[in-house]
């Protein structure tokens, strides 16, 4: 799982560097699903979502990521909504479908 998580982050960073925000967020969402139970990784993904939102000038995303970062520090080990994409446009409490190719990696 570590390798897939790191690959998703690498692809997200590359997309962010070239201004491909939708591609960036797609990879960050996948990294989020993989990292939900790992506090530091989970929080890092929310930080990258905040940065991507800032660069895109998507203030809703920026405002939504700040409390998600705090919640990831406090709750990652206790409870997370399985499969949630981590985006500000989705309820932080809503379980979502895990992408099929990641299902075997997500408890």
- CA 9, CA 70: separation in Å to the nearest integer? 20
pLDDT of residue 8: 98
- CA 17, CA 2: separation in Å to the nearest integer? 23
- CA 60, CA 66: separation in Å to the nearest integer? 10
The band of 29, judged by pLDDT with boundaries at 50, 70 and 90, is very high
Q: What's this model's pTM, rounded to 2 decimal places? A: 0.94
Q: Is 99 exposed, middle or buried (0-12, 13-18, 19+ CB in 10 A)?
A: middle
Can you list the alpha helix ranges (DSSP code H) found in 1-107? 2-17, 21-35, 39-56, 59-75
The average confidence (pLDDT) of the chain is: 96
């Amino acid at each position: 799982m570590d390798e897939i998580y790191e690959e998703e982050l690498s692809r997200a960073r590359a997309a962010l560097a070239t201004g491909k925000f939708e591609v960036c967020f797609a990879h960050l969402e996948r990294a989020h699903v993989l990292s939900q139970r790992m506090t530091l990784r989970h929080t890092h993904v929310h930080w990258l979502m905040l940065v991507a939102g800032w660069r895109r000038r998507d203030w809703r995303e920026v405002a939504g990521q700040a409390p998600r970062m705090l919640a990831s520090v406090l709750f990652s080990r206790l409870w997370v909504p399985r499969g949630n994409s981590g985006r500000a446009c989705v309820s932080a409490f809503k379980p979502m479908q895990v992408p099929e190719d990641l299902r075997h990696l997500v408890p």
